[in-house]
Amino acid sequence: MTLNEAIAAVKPADKAAYEAAKKRWDSIAKPLGSLGLMEEAVCRMAAMKGSSKFDINKRAVVVMCADNGVVAEGVTQSGQEVTAVVTENMSSGDTSVCCMARAARADVVPVDIGVCRPVVGDKIRQRVIRRGTDNMAVGPAMSREEAISAIEVGINIVRELAEEGYTLLATGEMGIGNTTTSAAITSVLLDKEPAEVTGRGAGLSSEGLKKKIGAIERAIELNKPDKNDPIDVLAKVGGLDIAGLAGVFIGGAVFGIPVLADGFISCVSAIVAQRICPAAADYVLASHASKEPAGVLVTEAMGARPFLYADLCLGEGTGAVAVIPLLDMALAVYEGMSTFEDINIDAYEHLT
């Protein structure tokens, strides 16, 4: 499926299904709205799926893995070799998100969309666009055509997972240097100074942080990304992992599958997706507000309210996976709780 085909296929979420789910919540024998965002999430998932009766029993976290040429600017504590090692460890089940996903009954789906060296592992979906991006501080990170191809990888990964029966997706990423690209995109799309939206990532020193901010400033000045053209921004100062995740969010909208956004990088990807296809916003749930300086800013820009404020900044999709049990518990009440009518007591009323 091409990007243009996907955009044409997206429909707004079903308002009638949302209202039917809300009516079910209001009939349950408990104070109205007392489960807060858990109730809202169930109603929104009903709207995404077009029915007030649905399940999220088969779930996966899609982890886009890619390297970033801007690492050459000294913006990270570790080298690019880490991306490949962690990607392979995801296939063998030996990373943080793998451990958490087992507890949440979710499958981990690593996608090699641009790791610098070939990676091996039975669970890795090989979708390489190119072996890492160029250094955005000295030129565009990639071509516009490559950015579009990466978005289409994400869309078609969702298509495959829909055909395999998955009913809930979470997003994750692995790519040394990707908080730098995410901060650059945030700076451009949200009209913020790089210093305001750039953090230490995976443990930079103060000197390293200065290098990171400087690299972003040079990249924006040199490449002049057009803030009104999200694909131009992706191509010039973004990354293959971010583009792939933007495709996952658009794909969720195409195939009616709720997509849980992880932290800073995933939320930046969701903003890109929404700028490309505004209706995709109906199909995204924010999981947590990242500890990164722009963590709250990007969730607000998405128009989303995250479940968790837990100072998480690990990546891989860990924050999104952490929220899946909350959705399970919300559905347990939604589906299994007695109604006011069942127990013969007067229902609560919405009072003004």
Contact 334/42 with Cβ under 8 angstroms?
A: yes
* Strand ranges across the sheet with 284-286: 125-126, 106-114, 59-66, 168-174, 259-261, 284-286
Rounded to whole angstroms, the Cα distance separating 6 from 155 reads 8
Secondary structure (DSSP) of 44-91: HHHHHHTSSS----SEEEEEEEE--GGGGGS--SS-THHHHHHHHHHH
Q: Which residues 6+ apart lie within 8 Å of 117 measured at CB?
A: 81, 84, 131
| 10 SS3 class | coil
Q: Residue length, the chain?
A: 352
| 293 SS3 class | coil
Active-site residue 163, yes or no?
no
Per the residue annotation, which of 173, 316, 335, 341 is the catalytic one?
Answer: 316
Catalytic residues: 316
